[in-house]
Amino acid sequence: MKIKKSQPDGNMIRLLAILAAFIFIAGITKPALFMQLGNFQSIGKQLAEYGLMALGIGVCMISGGIDLSAVYIANLCGISAGLLMQKMIPAGGSNPGAMFLSIAAAIVIGALCGAFNGFLVSKLNIPAMLATLGTYQLYMGIAVVITNGSTVSGLPSAYTALGTALVAKVPLAFLIFLLAVLILSFIMQKTIFGTRVYLVGTNPKSARFSGIRNSSILIRTYMISGIVAAIAGLVSLARINSAKADFGSSYTMQCILIVVLGGVNPNGGFGKISGVAVAVVILQVLSSYLNMFPDISNYFRDLIWGVALIAVLIINHVIAKRRIAKLDSV
Amino acid sequence: MKYFDQLKKQSEFYVFLIIILLGIIIQMRSGLFFTNNNLLDIARSMIVPSIYAICAFLAFLSTGPDVSFPLIAALSSYIAIDVTTKMGYAGPVIVTFIIGIFFGMLMGALNGFIIVRYKFPSLIVTLGTSTIYSGLLLGAFEAQRMDLPENLADFGRTSLMTVVNQKSGLGSTLPMTFLIMAGLYILTYLVLNFTMTGRGVYALGGDEVSAERAGFNVKQIRFGIFLINGAIAAIGGLCYSIMSMRYLPTEFAGGEMIVIAAVILGGTRMTGGVGTLKGCILGTLLLTMVSNSLILAGVAVIWQRVFIGMIIIIGTAVSALQGRSSAKVSHKPRKEAA
C-alpha cells in the first residue's frame, strides 16, 4: 500500500481563496482607496492586536478549552506596562532600560495570568469557559483597582513611536504578529509539546493513558495564550497611547469567530495556527473594505461576521461528513 | 438530621449560607442592609437578571451555554416597542409582549435549528447568532434610544409596593415586572417538575442517548428549549425597557456572563442534567448583592469586579471539586468488581 503524502490542506486553500476573492473584489470596486500602500499598512497595524489574541485563543481551543479572559489579560498587561513606564520615565525623557523592563514585566504578568487560568482548568477541573469567565472578571477587576477606574495615558514618546514605526514600509505591529504566527506554528506543528496539545484536545483521557501529563500541558497552553495576550496589550498600548480596563470588550467574540473561521474545531484537537492567521487577515480586509462605504453602518460588520461564522461551521461540517463517508466506503 | 445531610450536598445550601453571611457582614458594617428599602432595591435589581437566568439555566440543563439571550432581548423588545409606537397602539400591554415574544421565539428557533440539526457547540452557535442579532439591531434597524409608548410607560409607572425607610427617609418601589418574573419562575418550575417534557429536559442533559432510548424526543425537546429561551429573553428585554422607562439599544449586550456565572454558582452543572431554579434565584441574589450592597459594607466600587471574579472562581472550583469527589465514589465499586 502506498502511503499518501500529506495532501495540501483543504481548509487553508479555501481560506486563501476567500482572501484572494475579497482583495480582488475590493481592488475592482474601490481601486483608488483600497489599492494603496497606506491602506495595507493600516490593515497590518489594526489586525495585530486582536490577531495576536486570536492566536492565543486558537491554541487554547485546540487543547479543547477556550480563553475568554485574553482581552482582559491584554488590558491588564497594557495598563501595568503603562503605569510602570509613567513611574520610571520622567515626562519627556527617555530611558530604554526602564522601557524594556516594563515590557518584560507586562509579559511576565501575562504569563502568570495564563498560568492561573491553566491551573484552574487542569488542576481544579473547572470547565475552561467558566474558569476564564471568572478570571476575566478578576483580571478586569484588578485592572480597575490599580488604575482606580481611569484611563492610563501619556506614555513616553519613545514607546508610542513604536506603535507607528515602519520597518521597510511594513508596520512593526504586523511584524510582531507575523513573528508570533511563525513561532506558534512551529511550536504547534514541530515540537513534542504541540503534538501533545493536539492529543489532549482530541481525547484527554487517552492522552493521559498514553503517559502525557495533561495538567502540565494545559498550564503551558494557557500560559502561551496569556503571553500572546500580553503582547497584544503592549501593541495596543503603543498604538492608541492609552490603556483602559474595559477596552476592546467586543474582541473576545471577534477572536472566537476568527479562530472558528480559521478552521479550529471548537471541540478541540483540530485546526492550525496558519489557518487562524489567514482568517485574521480576511476579517481585517473585509472590515477595511466595508469602512470605505460611508453609508454602510459599522454594525453591518457584525451581521456579516455572524452569518460567516455559522456558514463556515456548516460548510466545515458538511466537508467533514463527506470525508468520513469516503473513509467508510474504502 | 437526615434532611441536613442531604442539604449539605447541595451547592444551593452553600450559596444560601454565603448570602446570609454576606448580609450579616454588610449589616454589621453599615446597619443598612436589613432595611426595607435596601431589600426592596435588591429585589428590584434582581428582576431582569433572574429572568435571564432562566434562559441560561434551561440552556445549561439541556444542552450547554446560551449567550444569545441579551441580544434576543434587545432585538425583540426593539421590534415590539417600535411596532407599537409606529402603529400608535395604546391598548393593553400584553399585545406588546406578544409581539416581542413572537420575534424572540423566531430568533430562538434559529438557534435551536442550528444546534439541533448540526450538533454544533451551543456556545459558538449562540455567539454567532447574537452577533447577527446585534448587526440587525444596530446596523439594519439603526436602533436608537427611544421613549416608551404610553401604554408601556404607564405600566412602568404602576408599582406593586412602595416602602419608605423611617430612619433614612430613602424610598424604594417594586415595579409590576416583579410579578412577571415570579410568574415565569412558577411556570418553569411546574413544567420542569410535573410534566413529562420537563423531566425530559433533565434526562436529555444527563445523558442524551439514554434519554432517547427512554423514549424522549431529544431533538424536539432541545429545539423547544431554545424556542422558549427566545420567548423568555424577549420578556426579559421588555421588562428591562419598562423598568428603565426608555429603550436603550446598547445596554443589553455584555450582561450574559454575569447571568451565566450566577446560574453556575447556584449549582447548575455546566455539563447538563443537574440544577434547580432555587439555585438560579440564589446565585442571582448573591451576585446582585455583591454589585448592589458591597458599597454599603465600605468596599469601594472599584473592588466590585475583583469580588465577582473571586466568587465565580471559588464557587465553580468548589462545585468542580465536589463533582470530582462524587465521581470518585461512584467509580470505587466498579474497581472492586473488576
CB-based contacts of B238, cutoff 8 Å, min separation 6: B73, B76, B77, B80, B81, B96, B97, B100, B152
Distance from CA of B276 to the nearest CA of A (A): 18
* pLDDT recorded at residue B78: 93
pLDDT bin (cut points 50, 70, 90) of residue B331 is: very low
Distance from CA of A198 to the nearest CA of B (A): 19
- Interface with A, mutate which of B252, B305, B328 (most A CBs under 10 A): B305
Cα separation, A262 vs A255, whole angstroms: 10
CB contact (8 A) between residue B135 and residue A144: no
pLDDT bin (cut points 50, 70, 90) of residue A252 is: confident
CB-based contacts of B201, cutoff 8 Å, min separation 6: B58, B61, B62, B192, B221, B225
In sequence order, what DSSP letters do the residues of A178-199 get, joined into one string? HHHHHHHHHHHHHSHHHHHHHH
Q: Is the ipTM of this complex over 0.90?
A: no
Cβ–Cβ contact B136 with A under 8 A: yes
* pLDDT recorded at residue A75: 92
* pLDDT recorded at residue B58: 94
Among the partner-chain residues A125, A267, A303, the one whose CB lies closest to the CB of B139 is: A303
CB contact (8 A) between residue B270 and residue A129: yes
Q: What number is the average pLDDT over the span A38-48?
A: 84
Q: What number is the average pLDDT over the span B292-301?
A: 77
Among the partner-chain residues B130, B270, B304, the one whose CB lies closest to the CB of A127 is: B270
Q: Among the listed ranges A35-49, B3-17, B178-192, which one has the minimum average pLDDT value?
A: B3-17
Is pLDDT above 70 for B325?
Answer: no
* pLDDT recorded at residue A1: 40
Within 10 Å of residue A5's Cβ, how many Cβ atoms? 6
Selection from B39, B51, B20, B96 nearest residue B255 by Cα:
B51
Q: What number is the average pLDDT over the span B161-173?
A: 76
Q: What number is the average pLDDT over the span B103-108?
A: 95
* pLDDT recorded at residue B338: 35
Q: What number is the average pLDDT over the span B170-178?
A: 83
Residues 73 through 112 of chain B touching chain A, CB cutoff 8 Å: none
3-state class (DSSP) for residue A210: coil
pLDDT bin (cut points 50, 70, 90) of residue B77 is: very high
Residues of A in contact with B138 (CB under 8 A): 297, 299, 302
Phi and psi (nearest 5°) for B67? -110, 10
Domains and CATH numbers, chain A: 10-21+34-329 (1.10.3470)
* pLDDT tens figures, B204-227: 988 888 998 988 999 999 999 999
Distance from CA of A317 to the nearest CA of B (A): 8
Cα separation, A162 vs B300, whole angstroms: 36
CA angle B100, B111, B212 (to 5 degrees): 120
CB contact (8 A) between residue A260 and residue B124: yes
Is pLDDT above 90 for A87?
Answer: no
Burial B233-261 (b: 16+ CB within 10 A, else e): bbbbbbbbbbbeeebebeebbebbbbbbb
Distance from CA of B148 to the nearest CA of A (A): 24
Is pLDDT above 50 for B330?
Answer: no
What is the pTM for the complete model shown? 0.84
* pLDDT tens figures, A163-179: 777 777 888 888 999 99
CB contact (8 A) between residue B308 and residue A257: no
* pLDDT recorded at residue A220: 92
* pLDDT tens figures, B224-277: 999 999 999 999 999 999 988 888 887 887 778 888 888 988 888 877 888 889
- Cell triple for residue A175? 511584524
Residue type, A199: L
Distance from CA of B301 to the nearest CA of A (A): 9
* pLDDT recorded at residue B48: 92
Cβ–Cβ contact B318 with A under 8 A: no
Is pLDDT above 60 for A7?
Answer: no
* pLDDT tens figures, B126-145: 888 988 998 898 888 888 88
* pLDDT tens figures, A260-304: 888 888 888 888 898 999 999 988 888 888 878 777 777 777 788
Mean pLDDT of chain B: 85
Among the partner-chain residues A68, A130, A309, the one whose CB lies closest to the CB of B128 is: A309
Selection from A86, A108, A107, A83 nearest residue A95 by Cα:
A86
CB contact (8 A) between residue A138 and residue B305: yes
Are A319 and A10 in contact, with CB atoms under 8 Å apart?
yes
Q: Residue for cell digits 453571611?
A: B21
Among the partner-chain residues B121, B142, B305, the one whose CB lies closest to the CB of A137 is: B305
* pLDDT recorded at residue B332: 39
pLDDT bin (cut points 50, 70, 90) of residue B1 is: low
Among the partner-chain residues B132, B257, B309, the one whose CB lies closest to the CB of A138 is: B309
Among the partner-chain residues A249, A297, A307, the one whose CB lies closest to the CB of B254 is: A249
pLDDT bin (cut points 50, 70, 90) of residue B51 is: very high
Percent of the residues in chain A that have a pLDDT greater than 70, as a whole number = 96
* pLDDT tens figures, A136-163: 889 999 998 988 878 888 788 778 877 7
pLDDT bin (cut points 50, 70, 90) of residue A40 is: confident
CB-based contacts of A95, cutoff 8 Å, min separation 6: A88, A89, A156
Cα separation, B304 vs B317, whole angstroms: 20
